[in-house]
Structure 1
């Protein structure tokens, strides 16, 4: 195990090359010592000998290091002194560079960082000033819209006790555009900030919401009270007809047109993910609800009056005349709705049409005219739907008169069955007079299916010579007769 000393002065049995090698493992070395001083088959292990061997080796290594350092002390001190001197020179240069860099950084901090911080503060101040100015302009615009809205509502006579029910429908339609302008501003990107302004909160509650409620109520009242029938309220046998004059009919037509347009425009049109709703996805809730309510009221009233009259046949003529008048109003309603196209909605997005995009009018471009026109042209935009198509689609029917007569027939069957089940003189009279009832019901359907003359003059599909029945009235008459007389023959 002897090894040659690198210094050439001392020989020892320790293998310094092995101990100083990179592959040396103290665990393997200790294991080799234990195995060298013990029998692997012996159950007991003696660690005293290997421990003494290790201690002796450590002492030998220490002596060897002491001998080497004593002999090479001058060389070591010289080398250390040279290294220290070189380190001092490097440190001095580094200190000089550090001082220079520190001086440069301080100068840059004064020239750049301080100015940058001031610039950031100035930019923040400018941005906030810009936001305040933009918010102020939006508030000013809302104030102008509110002032114009109040002026238009005052001009329309809405809520006035002088001429109740005679409001200027054109002015109300322009007022609805003011409401849409306010909605557009509130639902825009600055809507959240505008909603926090006290004056906007006040205008929203006291001006726009209150005015919108009154305008909607006025439009619903016009739709609810729509009547253009030329049938008389007296007995049907008299053969006399009366109705509104041409001027009254035109005024009623114009008021109804404005009313349905108001209901269409003011129906909820929420934004989806901050974007305006597509026109094809928009459903005019207020318009459809008002028209469906009108039809349902006409059907319910006719069913109740005819149901009572079937139990008291002398009242049947008047009840059928009233039902005919209601159906004639439904026919007139269909004719008017056929000619009213959905106006361009400022809060909706339109798809591309003929190579150009019809964008909805933004909040800065909604025009509120004070002229006699209502802000809508009568020209039909390509692909625009009529209000009739919207209503027919909602009711899932092909014709409003057909819907009226068939709904009325379905409700009359139960009333006739109730009379027959009660029996008595009413049931016997109804059975004995079934031919008369058949004739009167058929005549009722014929009268009710005629388009009023005042409406026919403005409807291109109607004859200009006078009242003409709508198509397929014979089929509807058969349905009505079958709902009543069909049960009497059983």
Structure 2
């Protein structure tokens, strides 16, 4: 630029990146006019701008004329270089294309084939697992069917009650199989197999319902008392055998109810609650209470039937005592649902009696029976007295006899546990006093 002709144009201003045509025009107008003049003279700034543009255009033409050959040479050399680079790049692209074709043939095609094999193998593996689960489910169904047949009496032989427990274990195994399937583990999709759904609806569900009904019926019919039967020496061995059979049958029913109590994926040995077992036992106690209360209320209104009614109530209490002794002797079995779980011995009840006592909030079943009966008896006696008549007068005049009869009823009802009472020193005076107080409190002492 040293040999360039001098110019009065300030090129630096026009080449500045922050150049603003509006600001430049405004400053040019203000420099050639007085801002207070009206109108403004725009011919002078316009002439100057046109002159500057013509000067710049002339300068550009002279520069192009002087530098035409160097520019053409530079452009030619750049074009030649670009052509050379393009030819080299095309050769490399062709080489890469050939390499990609080889790679696609040797890798991609093989990968696609291998992916198809992998998908097929994965589906085959899932099919094998599902088939194994279906086979196991069908095997368990056949096993359950055979166990349910064992429960049915044939001819003069009773059904094998121990088959109830075996069938309950089979049902738990089936339940685990379906639970694992629903969680996406072994046998995923088991519920979508038609034969499994048929097995579930036609065999598993009815069998479980049948087991529950049978077990609950056995618990409802539990009876060990001999107060209401004639006790002769010839019947002693038969009574003992019947008692042992009743205990064994009831034990199987209780174990079945324990095993079939509802569980979920989050249930552990510590949180497991044998709800079916506790519910069946509570129903047994409530039935005994309701029957005793109804019959005792009728007998207090008609005293000639009182002795027979109190004998029946004593028999019910003996059955409750026998049931308590039986529950105390039954330890919770190993639950298949909790196999492999680390459990603390304090988390599992020591026997079947413990969860029932916790549910009833009591320390003894006979005590619960007598106290519950007494608490519901007072209002019934009050109704008899309020009605008045012969029943009320007879009951009031025979209150001493009623007192003795109630004490004798509680005493008879506790004799079935005589051996244990001697060891523990347990008496039933408080329960007798509660029963007597429920009646005498209304009659007046």
The reply to whether TM is greater than 0.5 is yes
2:332–2:351 Cα contact (<8 Å) kept: yes
Change over 3 Å in CA distance of 1:47–1:448 after alignment to 2? farther
2:151–2:163 Cα contact (<8 Å) kept: yes
Q: CA deviation at 1:350?
A: 7.0
Determine if the alignment matches structure 1 residue 258 to structure 2 residue 252: yes
Match of 1:431 among 385, 391, 396: 396
Where structure 2 has 5 or more consecutive residues not aligned to the other structure, the ranges are none
Where structure 1 has 5 or more consecutive residues not aligned to the other structure, the ranges are 1-5, 235-240, 355-379
Q: CA deviation at 1:14?
A: 1.2
1:34-113 to 2 correspondences below 5 Å: 34-41=29-36, 49-113=44-108
Bigger mean CA deviation after superposition, 435-444 or 11-20:
11-20
Q: Secondary structure at the match of 1:210?
A: helix
Cα distance between partner residues in 2 of 1:44 and 1:248: 134
Change over 3 Å in CA distance of 1:163–1:268 after alignment to 2? farther
Change over 3 Å in CA distance of 1:222–1:40 after alignment to 2? same
Determine if the alignment matches structure 1 residue 168 to structure 2 residue 160: yes
Q: CA deviation at 1:306?
A: 0.2
Residue 230 of structure 1 is matched in structure 2 by 226
Cα distance between partner residues in 2 of 1:35 and 1:248: 129
2:371–2:434 Cα contact (<8 Å) kept: yes
CA-based RMSD of the aligned residues comes to: 2.6
Match of 2:315 among 282, 307, 325: 325
Query: TM (normalized to structure 1)?
Result: 0.83
More helix per residue: 1 or 2?
Answer: 2
Alignment deviations for residues 200-240 of structure 1 (CA, whole Å, 9 cap, x no partner):
01110111111111111111111000001121358xxxxxx
Q: CA deviation at 1:192?
A: 5.3
**How many residue pairs were aligned?**
437
1:269–1:348 Cα contact (<8 Å) kept: no
Q: Secondary structure at the match of 1:167?
A: coil
Residue 139 of structure 2 is matched in structure 1 by 144
Cα distance between partner residues in 1 of 2:114 and 2:262: 46
Q: CA deviation at 1:55?
A: 3.9
Residue 368 of structure 1 is matched in structure 2 by none
Q: CA deviation at 1:35?
A: 3.1
1:403-414 to 2 correspondences below 5 Å: 403-414=368-379
Match of 1:129 among 105, 124, 127: 124
Determine if the alignment matches structure 1 residue 282 to structure 2 residue 272: yes
Cα distance between partner residues in 2 of 1:390 and 1:243: 34
Change over 3 Å in CA distance of 1:307–1:216 after alignment to 2? same
Determine if the alignment matches structure 1 residue 396 to structure 2 residue 386: no
Q: CA deviation at 1:42?
A: 5.3
Residue 242 of structure 2 is matched in structure 1 by 248
Q: CA deviation at 1:404?
A: 0.5
1:311–1:426 Cα contact (<8 Å) kept: yes
1:229–1:452 Cα contact (<8 Å) kept: no
2:134–2:187 Cα contact (<8 Å) kept: no
Cα distance between partner residues in 1 of 2:436 and 2:97: 106
1:204-223 to 2 correspondences below 5 Å: 204-223=200-219
Cα distance between partner residues in 2 of 1:48 and 1:193: 92
Q: CA deviation at 1:59?
A: 2.9
Alignment deviations for residues 378-408 of structure 1 (CA, whole Å, 9 cap, x no partner):
xx99954311001001111111011101110
Change over 3 Å in CA distance of 1:262–1:33 after alignment to 2? same
2:218–2:253 Cα contact (<8 Å) kept: yes
Q: Secondary structure at the match of 1:283?
A: coil
